[in-house]
Amino acid sequence: MTEVVSPTAAASGASATKTFQERVKSAASSDVARVNALASDALAALREVVRKHELTYDEYNAFKAWLIRVGEDGEWPLFLDVFLEHEVEAIANARREGTAGSIEGPYYVSGAPELGSSGALPTRDGEPGQPLRFFGQVRAVSGEPLPGAVVDFWQADADGLYSQFAPGIPEWNLRGRFTTDADGNFSVDTIYPAPYQIPTDGATGALIVAAGWHAWRPAHLHIKVSSPAHQLITTQLYFDGGEHVGDDIATAVKSDLILNPTPTEDGKGHQVRYDFVLDPA
């Protein structure tokens, strides 16, 4: 039995910020006109909020203090991924014909172990959670299978915690990369993830409490699928009837990303098939 140690917002935020900064070494280059348009419209929208709600100096100073705290807690990746990324993702994937995308979130880490076309994700001895076999095929929108496609898979554990973002969990727990076989097939043995609250003891949680919102995400699997000459797809898969599927704090659930697992023949777990369809590059 594993001991559950809840991560603090500051520790999770620091990990998320460090991971993000390592992946994005420099800001994307934009021309002056683009920066001007985006920054001007964003500031105009904030000024309109100030005017519409007749913001007081006490509220203004509270807002400044909260912005400072978001940075101190390292929670900008968390805050932006929860409240803004779903809009960016929708625009990025608006013309996609294949599998629907979803947000990446703050907990992706590159370099997970290579596990072939079929295998079990790394787990602790006695890893809690109901067994789940997730399998499928990767193919192109034209229908042909894509051998050698990479299925990069990560998820929370049965307590809603992610390795590398919570204490006491091995580095690559429930993370792995699978490469499809000659027919484009893959198979992953894992466990059901749990719904989880995003960290609530930091700045993001303070906003959620003050606004009277809930902080829950439904249980989900994270996947990135890539193949040469095809567009990378980043998505999340949810579970039919799962708690908070209908009111995800991150507004990331889509109907065609909902799984309906069935019992395995031996009755010791569940299984579900989901095929990924990639658009041409």
From the list 139, 177, 217, 230, the catalytic residue is 217
Query: Has 217 been annotated as catalytic?
Result: yes
* Residue-wise pLDDT tens digits, 80-99: 999 999 999 999 999 999 99
75 within domain boundaries:
yes
Residue 258 falls inside a structural domain:
yes
Vertex 202: Cα angle to 27 and 80 (nearest 5)? 35
Are 261 and 247 contacting, i.e. CB atoms less than 8 angstroms apart? Answer: no
Q: How confident is the model over 65-80, as a mean pLDDT?
A: 94
pLDDT for position 30:
73
Active-site residue flag, 220: yes
Q: What residue type is assigned to position 276 of the chain?
A: F
Active-site residue identified among 222, 230, 244, 270: 222
Per the domain annotation, does 4 fall within a domain?
no
Answer whether residue 3 is part of any domain.
no
> What does R_g of the chain's alpha carbons equal in angstroms?
20
Question: Which residue segment(s) compose the domain that 125 sits in?
Answer: 9-23+30-278
What is the pLDDT at residue 1? 43
More confident call, 3 vs 73: 73
Q: Are 130 and 270 in contact (CB under 8 A)?
A: yes
271, pLDDT greater than 90: yes
* 57 is an active site residue: no
pLDDT for 199 equals 84
- Pair of tokens at residue 165: 């973002």
pLDDT at 27: 60
* pLDDT tens figures, 2-44: 445 566 655 666 666 777 667 666 566 678 999 999 999 999 9
**From 107, 108, 139, 162, the catalytic residue:** 162
Looking at the structure of the chain, the number of domains it has is 1
CATH number of the structural domain spanning residue 193? 2.60.130.10
Q: Are 233 and 89 in contact (CB under 8 A)?
A: no
192 is catalytic: no
Distance spanning both ends of the chain, measured CA to CA? 46
Contact (CB, 8 A) for 224 and 273: no
Domain membership of residue 140 (yes or no) is: yes
Within a domain: 2: no
* Averaged pLDDT, 122-149: 97
- In order of 64, 88, 89, 230, the CA distances from 81 in angstroms are 20, 10, 10, 25
Measuring CA to CA, which residue among 250, 270, 245, 221 is closest to residue 79? 250
Residue 147 lies in a domain: yes
Q: Name the percent of the chain lying above pLDDT 90.
A: 86
- Catalytic, out of 220, 230, 244, 270: 220
Quick: pLDDT tens for 171-187: 999 999 999 999 999 99
CA distance 74 to 81: 13
User: Using an 8 Å Cβ cutoff, are 230 and 280 in contact?
Assistant: yes
In a domain, 1, yes or no: no
How many residues are present in the chain? 281
**Any catalytic annotation for residue 222?**
yes
